[in-house]
Structure 1
Amino acid sequence: MKRVLVTGMSGVGKSSLLEELAARGYATVDTDYGDFHEVVDGEPLWRRDRIEAVLGEGFGGGTGVLFVQGTVRNQSSYYSWFDHVVLLSAPVEVLVERLSTRTTNTYGKDPAELAETLEYVRTVEPLLRRSATLEVVTTVSVAEVADIVLEHVS
């Protein structure tokens, strides 16, 4: 079974991509929801027991591919578990628009959260880019993003 990490800043479309992939029959895990995090020094990090359980249990269904979504500081300690690391990105103006208008998640509507996200674009996204096996700029439809990702991982 292939394991694919989908990562990127808030507002790039990670959850939307997972919804699209799930609709196409792929197994997905969105670590933004559920008990995947523990807070250490005020920062949410992946819980080793939960992440290793997901990655080790053979999720993937009939497709043979598991897509896991998340962006946390300790994700790099799990990169060896993944066959691919897919970075989703978008221009800053697109992120600002998406965060201010999205209805599925309130994160980013607060000016401090938006500022935090924009700082992460500057400081964290370059680190993610270095580890990614694929980067997709999500200014195209989610269906097109899914097609690009699936072509890469197949």
Structure 2
Amino acid sequence: MSVVLLTGMSGTGKSTLLKHLKDDGNVTVDLDYGGWMIYHDDSGEYILDVARVIELIRSRSEENIFLAGTAVNQGQIYPYLDAVVTLTAPLHVMKERIMQRTDNPFGRSDSEWRKIVQDKEDFEALIIKGSDLTIDTTQPVTDTIDEIYRYIK
């Protein structure tokens, strides 16, 4: 079975994909919730709780696991993954999705939106460079899922 990280900026479709992948019977974990991220005092950022993620991966070796999230230290879990998939979308699509979602208000304020835009500019190319697969999520969700499944099989 495969362990896959879905990563990318806010509004690229990580949570939506997780919901569909869970409906397919996969183990899914949204790393933004449930204590998977911890506050790092030195940087003032939330970082991935690497030890906890590795423990999860090791405990579920017989199932597909799809993790979703983006953190500055995510590269520390790459050796334990079968694939890193970066999701991308144009800024106007990201903004539209953020404004329409009901389960996560992040990105709606001007300051949060500016951070998303800056992060896309500063980090997206670096994330893509470390990825196995990059998918433009302006296509239908089912096409994105099919592309992921084709890659991991």
Please indicate, yes or no, whether the TM-score normalized by the shorter chain is above 0.5: yes
Q: Kindly provide the amino acid, as one letter, of the partner of residue 151 in structure 1.
A: R
Matched, 1:102 2:90: no
The equivalent residue for 1:120 is: 119
C-alpha offsets along residues 9-66 of structure 1, whole Å, 9 cap, x if unaligned?
0000001001101101111111111011110132101113311211111255xxx321
Q: C-alpha root-mean-square deviation of aligned residues, in Å?
A: 1.2
TM-score, reference length from structure 2: 0.94
SS in structure 1 at match of 2:97? helix
CA apart distance, 1:122 = 0.6
For 2:146 and 2:97, the matched residues in 1 are separated by 21
Q: Is the 8 A contact 1:27 1:59 kept in 2?
A: no
The equivalent residue for 2:59 is: 57
Q: Kindly provide the amino acid, as one letter, of the partner of residue 93 in structure 2.
A: V
C-alpha offsets along residues 61-115 of structure 1, whole Å, 9 cap, x if unaligned?
xxx3211111000001111111100000001111111112221210000110000
Q: Is the 8 A contact 2:135 2:144 kept in 1?
A: yes
For 1:66 and 1:81, the matched residues in 2 are separated by 11
TM-score, reference length from structure 1: 0.93
Q: Is the 8 A contact 1:35 1:50 kept in 2?
A: no
Deviation above 4 Å: which 4+ runs of structure 1? none
The equivalent residue for 1:16 is: 16
The equivalent residue for 2:83 is: 84
The equivalent residue for 2:28 is: 28
5+ residue gaps in structure 2? none
Q: Kindly provide the amino acid, as one letter, of the partner of residue 12 in structure 1.
A: T
Q: Kindly provide the amino acid, as one letter, of the partner of residue 74 in structure 2.
A: Q
5+ residue gaps in structure 1? none
SS in structure 1 at match of 2:73? helix
SS in structure 1 at match of 2:134? strand
For 1:39 and 1:123, the matched residues in 2 are separated by 21
The equivalent residue for 1:111 is: 110
Count the aligned residue pairs: 151
